[in-house]
Amino acid sequence: MTTAHPVILVVNAGSSSVKISIFSVPEAAHEDVEVLPAQLAHGQIEGIGVAPHIEGRLADGTVVADERFPVELVPDHDAAFRLIQARLQEGLRDTPPVAIGHRVVHGGMDFADAVRIDDNVIARLDALVPLAPLHQPHNLTAIRAVRAAAPDLLQVACFDTAFHAGHDPMAQLMALPYEYYEQGIRRFGFHGLSYAYIARRLKQVAPDLAEGRVIVAHFGNGASLCAMRGGKSVESTMGLTALDGMPMGTRCGTIDPGAVLWLAAQGMTPDAIQAMLYGQSGLKGISGVSSDMRALLASDTPRAKLAVDFYAYRAAQEIGKLAVTLGGLDGLVFTAGIGANSPDVRARVCAHLTDLFGISLDAAANGDNCQRISSDTSRVPVLALQTDEEGMIALSTAKILLNGG
Ligand code: AMP
């Protein structure tokens, strides 16, 4: 791909995939700019170590890469980055990137905003690996690979935890001995890039709601909910790690910690328990069919139905809990893969909310994934919005590039 303008790369390294987006550098970058930087192209390598597949598209949908590789060629993230770097060097020969923005899952207590990456930042992110074992190491692999190849290139870390940094101690405490809290063993919250985008989007599409008490349900492969007051996060369903709260594709969400002790007492190692709680639980664990919501909705097995019913029930429970934190509810927003695209799941969740909150959906608007999906008589407006985590990373990266912070 060649473009006439300098570009920013956005890197989102997940547990088995790496997604890369290419954005043009905007003229201005601050919170109030109406439009996020324009995305020029998007690519990803999926199935790292299993069935590697690279694909890339320009913004207009033109396919520029679609190739499968033998697993020996891309056995791990290091190899995936080497492949991506080679492809990017070729594709961006005339316009090498001027900055790279990384999605970094955990910023711990140190980072309340996006930050320019240096060796000190890398060391602090490394220390957080045990709190995000499936994501943080891959985020760091990407950062180190770029630093080795282009040490002077501006790299920016954008955190999933940062949006929640202002939480009150009530929302951060876990009832362990207090010294653990002081050491940073506290509830953080994740999916903050998505919530920051939704807070911004609400100002544009529903300014009255943006000022109020809103619960945002980020339901994708990972899932959490955020309680916002005036566009600021006050509580989240996720905690110290991205394992807490809602059941997810393969993660368990909230469980009795006694269950973990029981597993350990059966002789399971910490690594085996970790692999099960992160990778074999949630929708996949309950259904025995799939972690993918579309596959579950299409399946007629009783356990697939049980998994979806449980998901909706737990989502409604979490909404009730967050509404107590907010002292009421002025709006509910669904976003991410499931939240923005599944009328079925939204209808199941909202069915639990009719008696308590007076929520009712407009079946046609919900079925069409419209922006406002509640009926005229619903006591609480309900919206379905697409999220744009990568756009937010591009904006934060551009802010540091253009304004120095
Ligand atoms: P994300 O992690 O945000 O990409 O979301 C992935 C999840 O969204 C997967 O469970 C998909 O099955 C689910 N998803 C995407 N589109 C739909 C849809 N139209 N209906 C139901 N689930 C969907």
Tell me whether the CATH fold assigned to 7-159 matches the one assigned to 207-384.
Answer: yes
Extents of the domains making up the chain: 7-159, 207-384
> β-pairing, 213-219 with 154-159?
unpaired
User: Is the Cβ atom of 14 under 6 angstroms away from ligand 1?
Assistant: no
User: How far does residue 268's CA lie from ligand 1's centre (Å)?
Assistant: 32
Alpha carbons 310 and 287: distance in angstroms, whole number: 10
Residue 342 Cβ inside 6 Å of ligand 1? The answer reads yes
Point out the annotated binding site: 12, 19, 103, 218-222, 292-294, 389
Please name the residue that has the structure tokens 């891309």.
74
Tell me the angle at which helices 136-149 and 119-126 cross, rounded to the nearest 10 degrees. 160
Q: 155, 122 in Cβ contact below 8 A?
A: no
Q: Quickly tell me which residue has 């006591």 as its tokens.
A: 379
Is the domain defined by 7-159 classed in CATH 3.30.420.40? yes
Cα 182 to Cα 213: distance, rounded to the nearest angstrom: 30
Residue 183 Cα, ligand 1 centroid: separation in angstroms?
A: 37
- Residue whose CA is at the smallest distance from ligand 1 atom 20: 342
Q: Is the dihedral of CA 65, 68, 73, 74 positive or negative?
A: positive
Residue 160 falls in the annotated catalytic set: yes
- Which among 76, 83, 78 is positioned nearest to 48, based on CA atoms? 76
Q: Which residues contact 197 (CB under 8 A, 6 or more apart)?
A: 387, 388, 389, 391, 392
Active-site hit among 160, 244, 330, 388: 160
Residue 387: both structure tokens together: 């999220």
Whether ligand 1 lies within 6 angstroms of the CB of 136 is answered as: no
CA of 220 to the centre of ligand 1 (A): 6
| Tens-digit pLDDT string for the chain (405 aa) | 444 578 999 999 887 789 999 999 988 888 777 788 999 999 999 888 888 999 999 999 999 899 999 989 988 888 888 888 888 877 787 788 999 999 999 999 999 999 999 999 999 999 999 988 888 999 999 999 999 989 999 999 999 999 999 999 999 999 999 999 999 999 999 999 999 999 999 999 999 999 999 999 999 999 999 999 999 999 999 999 999 999 999 999 999 999 999 999 999 999 999 999 999 999 999 999 999 999 999 999 999 999 999 999 999 999 999 999 999 999 999 999 999 999 999 999 999 999 999 999 999 999 999 999 999 999 999 999 999 999 999 999 999 999 876
Q: Which homologous superfamily does the CATH classification assign to the domain defined by 207-384?
A: ATPase, nucleotide binding domain (3.30.420.40)
Residue ranges for the known binding site for substrate are 103
Nearest C-alpha to atom 15 of ligand 1 is from which residue? 337
Distance from the CA of 300 to the center of ligand 1, in angstroms?
Answer: 18
CB atoms within 10 A of CB 120: 8
> Which residue is associated with the tokens 């939480």?
167
